[in-house]
Amino acid sequence: MTNVSCYLLGERAIVIDVACHITTQPKLNQKLFALKKWLDSSDAFIDVVPAMSSITAYLINPEKIKQWQQVIVEKWNDLEMDSFESKLHHISVNYGGEFGQDFGDVANRLALTHEQLIRLHTSVDYQVQFMGFLPGFAYLSGLPAQLHLPRKSTPITHVPKGSIAIADSYTAVYPCGSPGGWHLLGQTDSTLFDAESESVCLFQPGDTVRFVEKSC
């Protein structure tokens, strides 16, 4: 299987993994998202779960696991790198002050002015790498290297809904109030998770997110 490993996990799961190909991983991730979309459309799986550099597909009928492993190999080799088109989301953000309790501390630790911090955070388009932690919580890759900070050593008990945060090489939006250990830069009014909505989660793996500073 070109540029990827494909192996069985238990009796009904198939893992497609590109973790060992770091130099071409952004393009391979696009291909993974295209594969996920195709697997979802097959109606042969209970769930198709993307992670940082892999997909795990859980079959409805475990008797077909070997057959599907071969089908996935063949499909992967036929997929084009740019065959996935992502949906773009614009997220309006109030930075700092009452909206981002760690904003000033982050700026000081990184030796940035407040303007530079905002400019850096809004300077790139982020990709929804995978979902986790909370319903609707998307790990967004692409954070500029100048903004990389480890998670807090001591998490706080309550992060407000809509908080924009950074940790390690990711940024994220908290879809609801919860405990959390990321650094809070700001807040958005956008709703990321709505159990009554048809789509439920605003962000989907492979989507693109662009943060925009909210005008006063």
Over residues 165-179, the pLDDT tens digits come to: 999 999 999 999 999
Kindly state the tokens that stand for 172.
């994220």
pLDDT at site 125: 95
Q: How deeply is 133 buried, as exposed, middle or buried, from its count of CB atoms within 10 A (0-12, 13-18, 19+)?
A: middle
pLDDT given for residue 3 in this prediction: 65
- Residue 87 scores a pLDDT above 60: yes
What percent of the chain has pLDDT above 70?
93
* pLDDT confidence of residue 31: 84
Q: Report the pLDDT averaged over residues 186-207.
A: 88
Altogether, the residues listed in the chain come to a count of 216
Average pLDDT rounded to a whole number, residues 19-41: 75
**Quick one: pLDDT at residue 89?**
96
Q: Which residues pair with 131 in a beta bridge?
A: 138
Confidence grade of residue 132 (pLDDT, cut at 50, 70, 90): confident
Residue 81: pLDDT above 70? no
Would you say residue 127 has pLDDT above 80?
yes
- The pLDDT assigned to 20 comes to 58
Cβ proximity of 159 and 188 under 8 Å: no
Which secondary-structure segment (H or E) carries 80?
none
| Packing angle of the helix pair 65-78, 25-41 (nearest 10 deg) | 130
Residues 107-131 have a mean pLDDT of 95
| Spatial distance between the Cα atoms of 146 and 21, rounded to a whole number of angstroms | 24
Residue range 51-76: average pLDDT? 92
CA distance 78 to 95: 44
Q: For tokens 């079959």, name the residue.
A: 59
- Give the separation between CA 170 and CA 152, rounded to whole angstroms: 14
* pLDDT at residue 83 tops 70: no
